[in-house]
A = this chain, B = another copy of it.
Amino acid sequence: MTALPTVRCCAPLAGDTLADGDALELEKLFKALADRHRLKIVNRLLAAGEDAVCVCDFEDLLGLKQPTVSYHLKLLRDAGLVEREKRGSYAYFTLAPGALQRVGELLGAPGAAASR
């Protein structure tokens, strides 16, 4: 349910004076990306494309223990950047479609891919 619109987020940074609430949302988004391990996760998911990646794969990639990997994935999920699909006892992760592009556009990269 919820039907949360992934990253509906935020006033574009280049707009008029940033309201406090908008600043908070943007902060949350950038915080999610402001960590070497989470960046590697996103990079891996980008490389994987349609394919989903499971938690155990990230343990090897990052050299972190399983609880820590879950912690990072949770942050990315809360920020709306990745999505989880449970299959059996495994959990597979993919990038939230368009999430990264939307972040890019917030920074002033203009229309960009937004062929729309």
Interface residues of A (CB under 8 A from B): 13-18, 20, 23-24, 26-27, 30-31, 33-37, 39-40, 42-44, 46-47, 100-101, 103-113
Q: A31-B34, A110-B112 are in contact. List 15 more A-B contacts (CB 8 A).
A: A13-B39, A13-B42, A13-B100, A14-B46, A17-B43, A18-B40, A18-B43, A23-B43, A30-B33, A100-B108, A101-B108, A104-B106, A107-B109, A109-B112, A109-B113
Contacts of A20 in B (CB 8 A): 36
Q: Tell me, rounded to whole Å, the shortest Cβ–Cβ distance linking A91 to chain B.
A: 22
Q: How many copies does the complex hold?
A: 2
- Among residues of B, the one whose C-beta sits closest to the C-beta of A110 is B113
